[in-house]
Structure formats: C-alpha cells, structure tokens
Structure 1
Amino acid sequence: METIKTDLLVIGAGSGGLSVAAGASQMGADVVLLEGHEMGGDCLNYGCVPSKALIASGKSAYGMAHARQYGIADAEPRVDYAAAKDHVRDVIARIAPVDSQERFEGFGIRVIREYGRFVGKDTVEAGAHRITARRIVIATGSSPLVPPIPGLDTVPYLTNESLWALNDRPDHLLVIGGGPIGMEMAQAHRRLGSEVTVIEGARALGKDDPEMAAIVLEALRAEGIEIAEEALAREVRGTPGAIEVETQDGRVFKGSHILVAVGRKANTDKLDLDKAGIKTSRTGIKVDASLKTTNPKVYAIGDAAGGLQFTHVAGYHAGIVIRSALFGLPAKASTNHIPWATYTQPELAQVGLTEAQAKKEYGPRLEVVRFAFQHNDRLIAERKTTGLIKVMVVKGKPVGVSIAGHQAGELINLWSLVIANGLKMKHVANMVSPYPTVGEVNKRAAGAYFSPRLFENETVKKVVRLVQRWLP
C-alpha cells in the first residue's frame, strides 16, 4: 500500500470539492483529491446541468405550440425524446472538461479515482493508498432519498440519477414529491408530450412562500399537470408500464413510469466516520459555523454538511474552508444571503426570510413591499406578466425577498448582493436600470417602498410648497 502525506485531502470531486482543491493547490498547498465515481459529481452528471438542459428542450417545444400570441402560427412540436436526451448528454460533455481529472492534475493535484474511508483522525485509505493529511475536507455530496413505501421495490422506478438513461418518453409519468426537482421534471416532461401527475404528501413547493408557490402551481396546472397535495403515498404496485400509487386517503394514481423525487440524503455511509471521531446529525455531518466537524482536522461542506442542498452553497462553503484551512483565519458560514431558485416557468426564487419567517422574527417592525410583474413594460411586451416580487424590509434594510415570475432566478441575484453586503432599499432605488428590462422589477420594488413616504407624506408636501414660494 502506497503511503501519502499531504497538506490537504479532499474527499469528493463535486462542485465544492473541486473548488477547494483548485483554490488550495493554486495557492501553494499540496493537495490530494479522491473521487470514486464521476468527476463533477451530481450537479454535472445528474442534477443541475442535465435538468436545465431538458428544461430547455421542453421550453422550446412549448414555445412552438404557443406562438400565436406573438403573431406566429402555433405549430405542433414533433418531439424526439431520445434526441432531447442526446442534447442533455452533449451539454454535459461540453462542460465536463472543466471538471476533468486531467484539468485538475494540471493544477498539480494528485487525483485518485477511489472511494475513501477513515482509518484514523487524520488518515484515510482509498484503494491501495493510505493518505495522511494536515486537513481533510469531506465533500461527498448527496444521493436521492428513496422512501420505504411498501411495494416500491417491486416496480421499476426512476430517480434524478437513473432518469437520464431513459430514452423512451414516458406515456404517463408519476412523480412522487412536489419539491423543486419533482416540479421541474414534471413540467419538462409535460412539455415534451407526457401526461404527468405529481403526488405530494404535504404541500407542493412547500419550502417557499405559499403565495409565490401558488403562482407557479397555477401555471403548471394550466399546462395540464395534475398536482395532488396532501397525498401521502401508502403503496406502490403494478408492472413495468402499468404502475399504481395509492395514497393514505385511498386515492389511486395510475401511470407508466414513476419518478421518486422526495429529497436527498448525505453520502456518508462509506466513510467510517466514527474512526475519525466525526459525529453525524439527522441530515448529514455535524459541523460548527466554520464548517469544522467534531474532529477539528476535518471539515464538511455542501450537501454532506446537512444544510441547504445547492451547488452554489457548496461553492460558498469552499471559500470558507480555504480561508480557515489554508490561512488559519476565522471564517464562518451563514445562510441569510444564500438564494435558491426553482426553474419552472414561471420561476420561483428566494433569498433571506420569507414573509412568514420575517413576521415571526420582526413583528410590527416589518414592512412588506410588493410589485406585480404586470406593471413591467418588457414583460408586457413578451407576454410574461404573471408574477410578483415581495421584499421584506426592516428599518430600510431588506431581510428577505421572494419572487415568482419570468427570470426570477436572475432577478434574485441583486437581492443576494444587497443582503450579503447589508445594503438598504435606498441603494436599490439609486440604481438606474436600462429601459425596458425585466431587471426594472427590482428597482420598481424599491420605488414602491419609498413612494408612500414621498407622495403620501403631508410634511413633504408642505416643504415643497414652502420651497416653491421662495424659489426665483
């Protein structure tokens, strides 16, 4: 067995692990990177990238079938589902070199394509290698959670991992789980010609503001997607191509394929964490604010750390770890400025507190500012006026923003910047947006905050009248 000593060992070559490894190596650290599966992790191979590629295919088909409103004749799209999957694979292939083993070896990183397991507090074995490191970063990501529904193991089912190998379009896709993954894939498949039923045990898009989620759900139902809420699956039965899901209240849903999208679980089972004195929680590895585990030599980032499960969170965590592990500087992770988005059409995005959370925390000090998309000229021109932005404000400072509508995932970027840097509504109001753009929605929301202070304030009116008397 080869013995290796290094400054930093990174376990997992997903987005977070690759960011840590590349940053540390380019700053002069000796780095070893372990990956037992595919470089790029879930995001590149099964998650963010392929899902957005398939969404793009669905959006194209939908646009053809709904062109009349722009003066173009509607056309029935001829969907080639296998070709759409080829498009997905091509997109992955074009991005893959950025995450490739060769590229990271070019940074001077030792890349070992094996799974690792702890054999001591600072030592990991991976295949024929025994690696001792000054600091270790666990970036093993997460996998689809498959719930113990009776009968599920007797029928073929899909997850976000196995879905991409399917080249025959489902006639009727049953989706168990009404979260972001489930709703995105539901709409994409509906637009590509499948019948779709979403079966959600509680409330669909339940982690988002209910008012904003309702805007999205109404649009999805209008496209012909059946969304059954408060429908907890009790039993799955059937044969390939003829599957039934029965819920606790006795409803039965029939389809040809079933996609399980109820959440994800941290990949920790193979690590032998107890041998390194590393404790876990219900959702992942236990970490403190600096992302250190109960073993001070070991960090956990991204999905493995059991918090928000987004690629951009893993990248953010990477920066925290680099400051701490490489420079010994104090660095703490926070979540108040972390945005997320669901890429349905219309999109759904959030940063900071929702309205309900902000009311609970701030009570009467909270102001909620609203601006409807129907008042934005660019959105009127593009006939995409379904949407709303809500900004939760305390003493002039945004503490949360919820957006449902066209390009919500793009619009939320500005508010993430504002909240991350402690900026106020006046800073957004001072911004000048080119006309006509969707981005004016953000500025108009800020304007809605100041309008009553300026136009409905009697003191302001008195001052203006007084000044006018004295102006030459």
Structure 2
Amino acid sequence: MAKLLTPDICVIGAGSAGLSVAAAAAAFGVDVVLIEKGLMGGDCLNYGCVPSKALLAAAKAAASIRKATDYGVRAGQPKVDFAGANDHVRRVIAAIEPHDSQERFEGLGVTVLRSPARFTGPDSVMAGDTEIRARRFVIATGSSALVPPIPGLDQVSYLTNESLFDLRALPEHLAIIGGGPIGLEMAQAHRRLGAKVTVFEARKALAKDDPELSAMVLEKLRAEGVEILEETAVEKVERTGEGVTVTARTGDGTTVRTEATHLLVAAGRAPNVADLGLEAAGVAHDRKGITVDNGLRTSNRKIYAIGDVAGGLQFTHVAGYQAGLVIRSILFRLPIGMNDSIVPWVTYTAPELGHVGLTEAEARARHGGKVKVLTTDYAGNDRARAEGLTTGRLKLIAGRGGRLLGADIVGEQAGEVLNLLSLALSRNMTMKDLAGFIAPYPTLGELVRRAAISYYAEAPKNVWVRRVIAILRKFG
C-alpha cells in the first residue's frame, strides 16, 4: 500500500527555486512536501554558480601573481596545483551545503522525499512508494546541459558543467563548444590555470550583451591566450588517441580542425521535464520548458512552474525572485506578475560584464529620439586607476525626464556596481536621483554618479539658464 500525504504545497525539485518556496512556506507554518531525486541544492550549488565562481577565484589568484610585477611586487610565475584548486571548489561547496541540506529543511518542518517524482493525475504525484495529493504543486526541476546533435559527439568522451568540476588534473588543451557566459568563464579560468583553450561559437560570442562592451571582454580573453572562433560551427567530433578532434567550418567556408585533450559542451540548457508525467497532469510544455502565464501558473491551475524549467531567463536570482512571487500567490492569494525588465545578469569573466533593463537598441526602438546614452570609462575613475584596472565602461540608457531605462557595464566588480543600478531601475529612478547620491571616495560606485551627471552636461550652455543666473546675481 502506498503511503498518502496531503500537504498544502508539494514542491518538486530542491534547487534554488524549490528550496526558496519550501523554506518560505514552512516559515509561515504551512505543511510542505519537498521532493528531490538528486543532490540537494540542485545545479547551482553542485555544478553551476558555486563551483564555477570558486574555480574563477583560483584562476584570479594565479593571474594576480603574474600581474604582481606591475605593482612593484616580484613574485614570478605561479605554480598551479590544479588538484588543489579543485579542493578549493569542493571546500566552498561543502561550506554552503548545510544550508541546502535535507537535515536543515526537515528541521524547518518540511517533509523531504529523496526520489523521482511523477504526476499520476491533475492533483496527485507519486514519489517512490508515497502518493502526494496537495492543494498546490510547484515544479522547480531546473535544467541540464543541452547536448547538440553534432555527429560523433556520442562516440567521444566529453564534459558538461556536471562533470567538469570532477577533474583533478589540468587539461592540456580544452576545447569548448559554446561562447556564452558559461563557456567563456570556464575558458578564462582554465587558461589562467595553465591550459590551452579553444572556444567554438556558431554565432557571436556573448551575443545577448551590448556588442561594444562584450568586445572588450573578448579582447581581454584573447590577450590572455584564449582562442575564440566566432561564427564557426562545429560539424563533427572524432576520437583521436586519448583526446578528440573538432572539425568546424567558419563563416567564409574555411574548415578548421583542432585536436584537444578534453572537450567541454557549453551550448545552452535544456529544461528538465522528462519522466515528470506532465501529460497526466494536463501541463503543457515544449522544448523550451513548461508553459506558464505571467503569474507562473501552468495550464493546470493547481500547478506552478518556476526557475529554469519554466524557460525564460535562466539565473539563480530569477529562480529566487519567482519563488517569492509564487509564495505571495499561494499563501496570500495576491495577484502576481513576472517582470523580466528588472532582471540583471552578470558574466563573471575578468573584466565582468553586466546588464539590466533595456539595451540601447531596445530603448531606441521603443522610445525613439527621447533616449540619451550616457557613458563613462573606468580610466576616468580614481579607484580603477589606483588598482590598475582601467579596462571598463559604464553605459546608462536614459529616457524621457531622465528616467533610467537600462544599463550595461564592463569592468572590475561590474556585478557589484550593477546592484545599485538594478535597484534604481526597479524603483523608476532618474538621472537626478543617481546624480544626487553621495558615493564614498574612491570607489567604483562613483562611475554611476559621474555618468548620471553627464545627463546635464548641456545645461551650462542653455541661454535661459544663463539668463536666470544673471538675474539672480543682480540681487547680490
């Protein structure tokens, strides 16, 4: 006989989105069942954000030693212990792991089931020998590395983000399929740690970001020795001895053959919808993920889908944002709406590349001639000068009345600077607001104020402003 549970909420998936919903609901005393077939913490903790940023930190340390002579410090070439770098990655995961653990969530009052979940009807799920009938369900099963249909790929050994961080020895030559954020972050990390790296991108690398600013990132990576082949489509891969040979064709028809010891596939993400029994639940989905409305509900009104599995922007912070919206809807019956326009993102290369709001092209298409683009360079910032980190630029997109419409930034700590701009955008702030705050000196945050002040650069030349000043001067 199957055991029956009847919680208020059943969450499927213990990644960032699912854990956030379960923790918040439990905090309000709501009965929650959380189902996870794999590792607690999901992709972000185990295979994504956490290990990748930990490896980037190790790579940054190596790069800092190489650059030390620029600051009068003689350190020589670093000796990289790749296994030690991997140990650092493991320690970081282990330090965060308890926060996402089964024990912690059971301590919060959540019933945790470690088993695959499958819908058996519109309001019922089976997990092992347990049936769950809940008032509301939240699907948060995330995504996995997309493996493109490249001839020969199934005949060679290749890495994805789920296996990359298991390596204990530095690849001699790492070939990467995909020139997006994941591909380029890992390209720079492994190059800085001593590997030869070649990146294949069928279109433009970092295509979702401002082309002017993304070009600065690509220039930096190439200067460090990363070979980036844009508009070069991989046609096939073959096993060669202990490694692989990648055959690709450039935009002008030239064939490129590259031999590498390791191959990383970083060509995008695919939603985890297989074996969930979505048809039995009446939940519509396609290759992009589960179909949801602006309130994150599926075609079955009792079931929500959030995070990567719902398609759209695939970021941990988006998963957390959507989890908060779903809690408002389920617990408090409040109307909710997903607002993609306030979602920021950052690529954690060096320099970092960040964006929030409308791009320059989107702003001009939507607002026409009322758009002003304000820029300031890191080279004009005293903190950047002091630290020798002058490669970078901030771009603010201002609309009618100076309202902030969007921002793009490339440079050191771009993600940290973007925090302020993300807040400003979400609160409909203007250039007056951004020009009026006081930034401590010297900080990179001064970039924001400097760019905003430039919105008023023409004011001193305005004849009416000059006449007002002249009149006021007559009063002493």
For the criterion TM > 0.5, the same-fold answer is yes
Aligned partner of 1:13 in structure 2 is 14
Of the three residues 416, 427, 434, the one matched with 1:421 is: 427
Of the three residues 379, 383, 396, the one matched with 1:378 is: 383
Aligned partner of 1:260 in structure 2 is 265
Aligned residue type for 1:70: Y
Q: Answer yes or no: is 1:463 the counterpart of 2:471.
A: no
Aligned partner of 1:335 in structure 2 is 340
Give CA deviations for 1:151-178 in whole Å, capped at 9, x if unaligned. 1111110001100111110001101100
Aligned partner of 1:82 in structure 2 is 83
Aligned residue type for 2:216: I
Rounded Cα–Cα distance in structure 2 between residues aligned with 1:30 and 1:240: 56
Aligned partner of 1:445 in structure 2 is 451
Of the three residues 362, 368, 371, the one matched with 1:357 is: 362
Q: Answer yes or no: is 1:307 the counterpart of 2:312.
A: yes
Aligned partner of 2:215 in structure 1 is 214
Rounded Cα–Cα distance in structure 1 between residues aligned with 2:264 and 2:366: 37
Q: Deviation above 2 Å: which 4+ runs of structure 1? A: 238-242
Q: Answer yes or no: is 1:114 the counterpart of 2:115.
A: yes
The answer (yes or no) to whether the contact 1:240–1:256 under 8 Å persists in 2 is no
Aligned residue type for 2:439: S
The Cα of 1:74 is off from its aligned counterpart by: 4.1
Of the three residues 365, 370, 373, the one matched with 1:368 is: 373
Matches within 5 A, 1:232-251: 232-239=233-240, 241-248=242-249, 249=253, 250-251=255-256
The Cα of 1:237 is off from its aligned counterpart by: 0.8
Matches within 5 A, 1:107-256: 107-239=108-240, 241-248=242-249, 249=253, 250-256=255-261
The answer (yes or no) to whether the contact 2:270–2:287 under 8 Å persists in 1 is no
The Cα of 1:266 is off from its aligned counterpart by: 0.6
Give CA deviations for 1:261-319 in whole Å, capped at 9, x if unaligned. 01001101120101010001331100001100000000000101101000000000001
Rounded Cα–Cα distance in structure 1 between residues aligned with 2:138 and 2:243: 45
The answer (yes or no) to whether the contact 2:271–2:287 under 8 Å persists in 1 is no
Aligned partner of 2:350 in structure 1 is 345
Aligned partner of 1:409 in structure 2 is 415
Aligned partner of 1:67 in structure 2 is 68
Question: Residues 268, 274 of structure 1: CA spacing in aligned structure 2 closer, same or farther, 3 A cutoff?
Answer: same
Moved more, 244-253 or 48-57: 244-253
Rounded Cα–Cα distance in structure 1 between residues aligned with 2:466 and 2:186: 53
Rounded Cα–Cα distance in structure 2 between residues aligned with 1:74 and 1:175: 31
Of the three residues 314, 322, 337, the one matched with 1:317 is: 322
SS in 2 for 1:333: coil
Give CA deviations for 1:91-113 in whole Å, capped at 9, x if unaligned. 00000000000100011000000
Moved more, 236-245 or 385-394: 236-245
The answer (yes or no) to whether the contact 1:156–1:240 under 8 Å persists in 2 is no
Question: What is the Cα-based RMSD across aligned positions, in Å?
Answer: 0.9
SS in 2 for 1:173: strand
Rounded Cα–Cα distance in structure 1 between residues aligned with 2:466 and 2:361: 35
Rounded Cα–Cα distance in structure 1 between residues aligned with 2:301 and 2:91: 42
Rounded Cα–Cα distance in structure 2 between residues aligned with 1:418 and 1:215: 25
SS in 1 for 2:135: strand
Rounded Cα–Cα distance in structure 1 between residues aligned with 2:79 and 2:9: 52
Question: Residues 240, 57 of structure 1: CA spacing in aligned structure 2 closer, same or farther, 3 A cutoff?
Answer: farther
The answer (yes or no) to whether the contact 1:173–1:259 under 8 Å persists in 2 is yes
Aligned residue type for 1:103: R
The answer (yes or no) to whether the contact 1:170–1:257 under 8 Å persists in 2 is yes
SS in 2 for 1:269: coil
Q: Answer yes or no: is 1:430 the counterpart of 2:436.
A: yes
Q: How many residues align?
A: 470
The Cα of 1:455 is off from its aligned counterpart by: 2.3
Rounded Cα–Cα distance in structure 1 between residues aligned with 2:23 and 2:241: 45
Question: Residues 254, 455 of structure 1: CA spacing in aligned structure 2 closer, same or farther, 3 A cutoff?
Answer: farther
Structure 1: gaps of 5 or more residues:
none
The Cα of 1:240 is off from its aligned counterpart by: 5.4
SS in 1 for 2:187: helix
Rounded Cα–Cα distance in structure 2 between residues aligned with 1:191 and 1:124: 47
Rounded Cα–Cα distance in structure 1 between residues aligned with 2:282 and 2:243: 48
Identity across matched positions, percent: 53
Aligned residue type for 1:105: E
SS in 1 for 2:295: coil
Aligned residue type for 1:285: I
The Cα of 1:239 is off from its aligned counterpart by: 3.0
Give CA deviations for 1:90-135 in whole Å, capped at 9, x if unaligned. 0000000000001000110000001101001110001011000000
The answer (yes or no) to whether the contact 1:155–1:239 under 8 Å persists in 2 is no
The Cα of 1:255 is off from its aligned counterpart by: 1.2
SS in 2 for 1:235: strand
The answer (yes or no) to whether the contact 1:22–1:104 under 8 Å persists in 2 is yes
Rounded Cα–Cα distance in structure 2 between residues aligned with 1:456 and 1:2: 78
SS in 2 for 1:236: strand
Question: TM-score of the superposition, structure 1-length normalised?
Answer: 0.98
Moved more, 367-376 or 232-241: 232-241
Rounded Cα–Cα distance in structure 2 between residues aligned with 1:240 and 1:191: 26
Aligned residue type for 1:46: Y
SS in 2 for 1:156: coil
Q: Answer yes or no: is 1:400 the counterpart of 2:406.
A: yes
Question: TM-score of the superposition, structure 2-length normalised?
Answer: 0.97
Aligned partner of 1:50 in structure 2 is 51
Question: Residues 167, 240 of structure 1: CA spacing in aligned structure 2 closer, same or farther, 3 A cutoff?
Answer: farther
